[in-house]
Structure 1
Amino acid sequence: MSDQDLKEQVLKIISDHRTGILSSVENNKPHSRYMTFYNEDLTLFTPTKMDTEKIEEIEKNPAVSVLLGYEEKGQSDSYVEVSGTTSINDSQALKTQFWDKSFNKWFNGPEDPNFVFLQIQPETIRVLNIHDEPPKELTLDH
């Protein structure tokens, strides 16, 4: 499988699965939680509040892992494991682009200063559970 084919498969899995698991590091231990993800050409974005422990965790250690996929048929579903670094993105254009009315539960609209995105820049993406094949890895140069 070529890198381009693998990238297309990764993009399909990411695009088909909005909910995933974000793992950050807290006191040298993994800390995982479900999040909503958006993507732009393999860069992931997940909305959060500026005043959460996630922000404190990534300011101390920006290394994160994301799992997306594996939620419909269970054991036969392909999924991706994204390893990368994260930063805070408070771009108003991004907040407007990805605003969803369901966010009203947490934010006072897309202009809310407490509404930010974690931007995850992948370094390695592994695709697992592809038709009983061994995992495939896509390494990204930045």
Structure 2
Amino acid sequence: MSKSEAPEPVREAHAMVAGMRPVLDAGEVVFCTTADGALARKAQAHALGSFREAEGVSLILPSAAAEALGFPVDLPMRRIELSVNSALDGVGLTAAVASALAGERIPCNIVAAFHHDHVFVPAGLAERALTILEALQADAARNGLPFRPRGAGA
């Protein structure tokens, strides 16, 4: 199947969680920010993602590239791609993932891209986070979601 023939995005919470296949990237990344336009343009070539904020440009950079550009690299993170074609207007995937990790005291930053959601966790907690997300997926596939979003009805 080509990229242009991607499956229909999944919108329903249970289907998103049950269908996710968390994959842990090997490399470390860092979140960086700069108000220096020239540095932001230079860093953009290496960025996994970026966002323009009032304070400057936020970037997600591989640790080595960030260090080479002079950014602090004191909070290395690893990315877990959820590998489910989640719809941008789907409800519940972010809440389920964040709740499962928060329940185990693992901080996370979630970035929703067009096709998949990406969870960034501190590098030292990445393997544990992956195990938790795999268990969340397996539980949802067997039993349904382990939580009921507010307003979801009876």
Pick the TM interval, shorter chain: under 0.3
TM-score, scaled relative to structure 1 = 0.27
TM-score, scaled relative to structure 2 = 0.26
Greater percentage in helix:
2
Radius of gyration: which is bigger? 2
Greater percentage in strand:
1
